[in-house]
Chains A and B, each alone.
Chain A
Amino acid sequence: NAGVTQTPKFQVLKTGQSMTLQCAQDMNHNSMYWYRQDPGMGLRLIYYSASEGTTDKGEVPNGYNVSRLNKREFSLRLESAAPSQTSVYFCASSEASLDEQYFGPGTRLTVT
């Protein structure tokens, strides 16, 4: 039982490049989330998917897109990376909206 997994662990991009962060969970959870964490700012919600087939914007969605591929997988895409998107990205999942969120190990992204 791996929980929540994320790939890659580290990534360096040049400004303007695109990439997709992958997330998968094996807990049969309905809800999945993408957060970014910057120093001194806590975690900020980018997008969430309350259930398979639905996605909604969070606090900081600009510059990102998401896809809930199936119940297990939720990907985050940066179409044209900017230095302001340098951050640690965490994926999380939960059984339902008022339940504990389980976090993945994070992806450290640097945009130069």
Chain B
Amino acid sequence: GENVEQHPSTLSVQEGDSAVIKCTYSDSASNYFPWYKQELGKRPQLIIDIRSNVGEKKDQRIAVTLNKTAKHFSLHITETQPEDSAVYFCAASRNNDMRFGAGTRLTVKP
């Protein structure tokens, strides 16, 4: 089955800096790659997603890139703010079968 690896597991940045989280996946048939943000004690919420026919997508301070040949995708957050502090999960899905990475705990220091 699909295997998703996510790095780093923890990331600490200064407010205003950029943060990058990377994921790799194993199933070349995966065709949907969402990123979720989860605050402590809350449910995961989608922040951005990308489909396999697109290489890059941007939404304000957040961008995702996808390299299907290498089977990796990355989340980029620019101008980080303290409210960006949370756990971020990448995922890869083939049809409805979604597999998540183990998560990255991002801390943004004011």
* A50-B95, A104-B43, A105-B43 as given contacts; A42 in contact with B101, CB under 8 Å: yes
**Chain B residues whose C-beta falls within 8 Å of the C-beta of A74 in the assembled complex:** none
Report the interface size for chain B: residues with CB under 8 A from the other chain: 23
- Name the one of B45, B51, B100, B103 contacting A98, with C-beta atoms under 8 angstroms: B51
- Name the one of B45, B93, B102 contacting A97, with C-beta atoms under 8 angstroms: B93
| CA of A51 to CA of B49, assembled, Å | 22
Q: Is the CB of A43 within 8 A of B100?
A: yes
Q: Is the CB of A42 within 8 A of B89?
A: yes
Q: Is the CB of B100 within 8 A of A48?
A: no
> Which DSSP category, helix, strand, loop or mixed, fits chain B's interface?
strand
Query: Can you sample 24 A-B contacts with CB below 8 Å?
Result: A31-B96, A33-B98, A40-B102, A41-B102, A42-B103, A43-B44, A43-B89, A44-B100, A45-B97, A45-B98, A48-B96, A48-B97, A48-B98, A56-B97, A59-B1, A90-B44, A97-B32, A97-B93, A98-B31, A98-B32, A98-B93, A101-B34, A101-B46, A101-B98
Residues of chain B whose beta carbon lies under 8 Å from any beta carbon of chain A: 1, 6, 31-32, 34, 43-46, 49, 51, 89, 91, 93, 95-103
